Amino acid sequence: MLRRHARTACTVLAAAGLALAGLQAGSATAAPHGEDRAPTVRTAADALGAASAQPELLRAMQRDLGLTRAQAENRLANEAVAGARAAGLRLDLGGAFAGAWVDGAESGTLTVATTRAADAAAIRAAGARAEVVTHGLTALERAKEVLDRAATAEAPVRYVDVRANVLVVEEARAGAGARLVAATGVPRDLVKVVRTAEAPRPLYDLRGGDAYYMNGSGRCSVGFPITKGTTQGFATAGHCGRAGTSTSGFNQVAQGSFQASVFPGNDMAWVAANSNWTATPYVKGAGGANVQVTGSVLQPVGSSVCRSGSTTGWHCGTVQQHNTSVTYPEGTISGVTRTTVCAEPGDSGGSYISGSQAQGVTSGGSGNCSSGGTTYFQPLNPILQNYGLTLKTTTDPGPGPGPGPEPEPGGTWAAGKVYAAGDTVTYGGATYRCLQGHQAQTGWEPSNVPALWQRV
């Protein structure tokens, strides 16, 4: 591991990236006073803030992805639409679903893969390009789980490449991938072995991205400010500290302590701050500007994502694969997302954000921000769920539907709960199925946000 030692205050990992935009479901027209009102349906762009990306985010995308401002704005909108459409198609296709991804400078093309040729018409009708492949995503991911249990640092990275419809094993030593496949009995036709120079390691080194210090020495970066009841703190990487490790802030003032930590296996932790620190709904952007956080919807493969760290500042790239497994010298972590964003020691724990949607916290990677690199982030939603944390957001649910008290719709849906794709809830007498994983919040009721919930 590379632990960053420093005495000076360092900048934050503020992240920037995509949010769900588009999906113009529209809002109901307001009825005259005294008449019944249809419930307001919030578009993905409205609900998740993709239509109001901050200038700092757009400038970082322009620099690192070679886009104009208009292209960056269009890309965020297109990725939002693509995420919601792909989520719905995944549920509809069931076991035949083989992955989804976006392509083009503006992410203008969504491709959805299936193992059934008969699904192609339905995929095209939903506005996506259809690709018929051999292996379903579930079969490839189950094979990856088998490899994960036996992997060593000689084959440090494993992931499903949905574009190629294959399980990729990256080997650092010749023959390591073949030996791993043979030892586990995974069918060879599912696997592609490639050589890599990567040697992933954790990036050691209450606004997201700000530096903090562990026991007064090693440095990491704040992920996302959170609350747990009346306690305030932040989510970060597990390799930065163990339960009981004390922390001080970017200004070297006593801050708090780690309450729980997991590494390896996953790379997640949270820190409870003392009463001198207040959680804010921001990550630190370029030039110290605040970047708003409005939710935690994970974006699809191919989407743009931005990161800022206490060592390297703002950098952007794209999501390569979700549910990747990486074997560091200290052990294997699973369920991380692989990206083309660079990072360096001291960036660990910091924020990845897409538009205004929190994505995850920096785990590790290879390369640097001079020559380029690959990084991995621990998705945020599992951290929120495992530790019962609530993401701090700027979301304002706005006014109610009109004069008089709002009705209590009842049901099993609850603000603050983390939902995964496929979960079902009841709300207002109807049943809904979750399309995209997220932490629920007021204003994101199932009847309001069709990008996140499908009535069944």
Distance CA 184, CA 146 (A): 7
Catalytic residue among 119, 221, 239, 351: 239
Catalytic residue among 64, 119, 210, 267: 267
Q: Which two tokens stand for residue 297?
A: 């919807």
CB-facing half-sphere around the CA of 422: CA atoms within 13 A: 6
Distance CA 437, CA 336 (A): 15
Distance CA 162, CA 140 (A): 9
Q: Are 352 and 306 in contact (CB under 8 A)?
A: yes
Omega prior to 264 cis, within 30 of 0: yes
338: β partners: 321, 376
Q: Which two tokens stand for residue 119?
A: 């699904």
Q: Does the annotation mark 267 as catalytic?
A: yes
Angle of the 176-184 helix axis to the 137-150 helix axis, nearest 10: 100
Distance CA 292, CA 376 (A): 22
**Residue that the structure tokens 């690709």 belong to:** 131
Distance CA 40, CA 29 (A): 8
Three-state secondary structure along 195-208? ECCCCCEEECCCCE
Distance from the Cα of residue 362 to its chain's centroid: 11
Q: Does the annotation mark 148 as catalytic?
A: no
250: β partners: none
Measured CA angle at 96 (ends 94, 97), to 5 deg? 75
Q: Does the annotation mark 239 as catalytic?
A: yes
Catalytic residue among 221, 248, 257, 348: 348
Q: Are 15 and 339 in contact (CB under 8 A)?
A: no
Which residues are part of the catalytic machinery?
239, 267, 348
